[in-house]
């Protein structure tokens, strides 16, 4: 299960995110990016974060630790922004925290090379969870200590917004032509051979158990949290078996050299003093 952390100080909003996440400190002395239940995307965005994060970690991909984070809105009283104040008031109680990675840098495909095996694993995973938000426009990838980390999965599992059509929607293919890692020749065959057998009912049950009941709102066809969990399990099990055959990768895009400071095109080891 996810660890329980109490938010003790609201530090600053992250205005790059559409849901206005914030950096907060916890009673375990850790620093977290908090995503709020009161944000416009609603609890299903947090459900997607928990499921995708838990699944990715169990498949050997790097995702910052997620925690169940309790918020008392009083900690944000000194925040001058009215929008933030309203968000904190609407998010009293249980929220989601993601471990803050100090010194991490946003992924730049022109400055950081990813080998085809790792690229294939990430693309296969994104196809599995139908993550439409890891394009070259908005990679949602960080480089930390020379390694690639996956963040921000709130837009994944798009089929869970309409359960009656979920099986048909999840059976569709996945166009990865604009994926941030498409230029690196993702080895989808190797990824499917390694990862697909790991996506079992038992593994998914362990992942889904981490989602708080309060975020699994009853649907007309799925009246209990366990019924909702079973629906997620059914769709993901079916998708894992065949999704690699339905991934579309267009021709590699042509890029110019990156102007990102402190980075060199090539292996992570060639970076100029960043990170470790």
| pLDDT tens-digit map of 178-221 | 999 999 999 999 999 999 999 999 999 999 999 999 999 878 88
Helices marked H in the chain = 43-58, 82-89, 116-128, 166-170, 188-195, 201-208, 225-242
CB 159 within 8 A of CB 235: yes
pLDDT, residue 228, reads 96
Q: State pTM to two decimals.
A: 0.89
User: What integer best gives the mean pLDDT of the chain?
Assistant: 89
pLDDT greater than 80 at residue 81: yes
CB 107 within 8 A of CB 150: no
pLDDT greater than 70 at residue 146: yes
pLDDT, residue 80, reads 87
| pLDDT tens-digit map of 4-51 | 999 999 999 987 656 789 999 999 999 999 999 998 888 999 999 999
Query: In angstroms, rounded to a whole number, what is the distance separating the alpha carbons of residues 218 and 91?
Result: 20
Q: Which residues, including other chains, have CB under 8 Å from residue 147's CB and lie 6 or more apart? A: 62, 268
Domain boundaries, the chain: 3-99, 105-248
CB 110 within 8 A of CB 258: yes
């Amino acid at each position: 299960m996810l660890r329980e952390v109490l938010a003790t100080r609201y530090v600053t909003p992250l205005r790059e995110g559409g849901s206005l996440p914030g950096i907060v400190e916890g009673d375990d002395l850790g620093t977290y990016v908090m995503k709020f239940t009161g944000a416009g995307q609603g609890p299903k965005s947090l459900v997607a974060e928990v499921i995708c994060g838990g699944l990715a970690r169990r498949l050997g991909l790097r995702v910052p630790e997620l925690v169940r984070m309790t918020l008392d809105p009083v900690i944000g009283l000194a925040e001058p922004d009215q929008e933030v104040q309203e968000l904190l008031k609407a998010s009293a109680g249980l929220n989601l925290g993601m471990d803050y990675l100090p010194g991490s840098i946003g992924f730049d495909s022109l400055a950081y090379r990813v080998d085809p095996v790792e690229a294939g694993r990430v693309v296969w995973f994104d196809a599995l969870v139908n993550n439409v938000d890891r394009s070259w426009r908005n990679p949602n990838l960080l480089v930390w200590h020379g390694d690639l980390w996956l963040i921000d999965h709130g837009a994944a599992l798009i089929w869970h917004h309409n359960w009656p059509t979920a099986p048909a929607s999840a059976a569709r293919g996945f166009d990865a032509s604009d994926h941030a890692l498409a230029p690196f020749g993702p080895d989808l065959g190797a990824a499917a051979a390694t990862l697909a057998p790991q996506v079992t009912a038992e593994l998914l049950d362990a992942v889904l158990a981490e989602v708080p009941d309060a975020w699994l709102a009853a649907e007309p066809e799925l009246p209990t949290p366990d019924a909702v969990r079973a629906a997620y399990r059914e769709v993901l099990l079916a998708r894992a078996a065949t999704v690699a055959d339905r991934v579309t990768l267009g021709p590699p895009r042509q890029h110019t050299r990156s102007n990102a400071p402190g980075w060199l095109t090539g292996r992570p080891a060639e970076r100029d003093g960043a990170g470790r």
